[in-house]
Amino acid sequence: MPESSTLRTSTLGAEVVRRATTLADGRELFYYDDPGTTLGPDRNVDARTLDPRPETATMRQDVLTGDWITYATKRQNRVMLPGADADPLAPQTASNPSEIPSTYDVAVFENRSPAFGPALTEAFGAAPAAEDPPRGLDDLTRLDLGRTRTSVGRCEVVCFSPEHAGSFGTQSVTRARTVIEAWADRTAALSALPGIQQVFPFENRGEAIGVTLPHPHGQIYAYPYVTPRTTRMLDGIARTGPDLFARMLEFEQRSERVVLQGEHWTAFVPFAARWPLEVHLMPHRHAPDFAALNDAERDELAPLYLRLLRGVDALYGTPTPYIAAWHQAPAEVGRDTVRMRLELTSPRRAADKLKFLAGSESAMAAWTAEILPEQSAERLREAIATVPHP
């Protein structure tokens, strides 16, 4: 029998229980137990013999744009679409020495091949200090030739289920609520780490997006900088006013682009959607990130988000590839003006066609869209209407 141990335990919202431990190489692992779970309090010890963790990657600045590009060469040899018998996100068995020692409801752990970290700007727990860390936002925004920094930060994997295949949309309402609690808990913890400027939970779904594991999971990136997309958005807020998100939500709610609405959330196809399938989901109250959501907002989000995802799959009758990007305010700036929201995008423009980003989009970021947002919203509303309430 595997050796077991009692973990560091905390009770979160919605009666979700977090159990914290470490993997064989020192990476942190968190189990998030559903309310009413059938799992016991103990978990198996990770008894694997693992290679040392890779050195933290390096990032280089593009002097033409100010963007920082990370070079994480160890990610080149990641596992590609393994079968169920070799799933690295499944619970460990005698024949599959996976990343998670015990069965679980939801599990979150540090990525073995991260784009950022494990080094931080100063020592924190088991993480080493970086040799050449960013020196704050002023340092990161300064432009010059040949600038490099250590890619401090953290990358985590969020497993929605122990099952080998699926997505967030295939989960139960209870499980979705547990994942939301995990997102909130990890957002708060990662935002407090030294050197972290922004926290980004996301789910890649489908081989067309580049998914390498069919296991239902997402990721969380904790960046050492404010991302380029968010930087442009902060500029837009500065040019239009601090209430931009409130005005944008009111504008969309008055339109025919709303696809789903609750007491606390509205889902809509944005006025200037780029992708053939693009839908945003925004809270009615200002909240900078998951950690700032109250219980009522988290409770409503679970079934509403599931219904939205299942409607997306109902558009063509087969699973749709997508990126579910949860944009959150940076850790230090824009907290009072940047409202968290989901931006779900898919390149699927027909049952058997994908939109590829060719010359104009890829080289110049000058988009041409083939489907009007109003038409996309109508089709999505019709698809959602066919989906039973979760």
Q: In 10 A of CB 118, how many CB atoms?
A: 25
Location of structure tokens 């280089």: 60
**Is there a catalytic annotation at residue 217?**
yes
Question: Considering 215, 217, 264, 327, which one is annotated as catalytic?
Answer: 217
Distance of alpha carbon 361 from alpha carbon 78, whole angstroms: 28
Q: In 10 A of CB 282, how many CB atoms?
A: 23
Phi-psi region of 146 (alpha: psi -120 to 50; beta: other; left: phi over 0): left
Location of structure tokens 């020592």: 123
User: Can you read off the two tokens belonging to residue 101?
Assistant: 């020692």
HSE-CB at 177 with a 13 A cutoff on CA atoms is 21
**Helix and strand numbers, DSSP H then E, in the chain:** 7, 19
User: Can you read off the two tokens belonging to residue 43?
Assistant: 């978990």
User: Can you read off the two tokens belonging to residue 5?
Assistant: 């141990």
Task: Write b or e for each residue in 262-281: b if 16 or more Cβ atoms lie within 10 A of its Cβ, otherwise e.
Answer: bebbbbbbbeebebbbbbbb
Location of structure tokens 């008894």: 47
Distance of alpha carbon 158 from alpha carbon 321, whole angstroms: 18
Distance of alpha carbon 190 from alpha carbon 194, whole angstroms: 9
Q: Are 331 and 295 in contact (CB under 8 A)?
A: no
Active site residues: 217
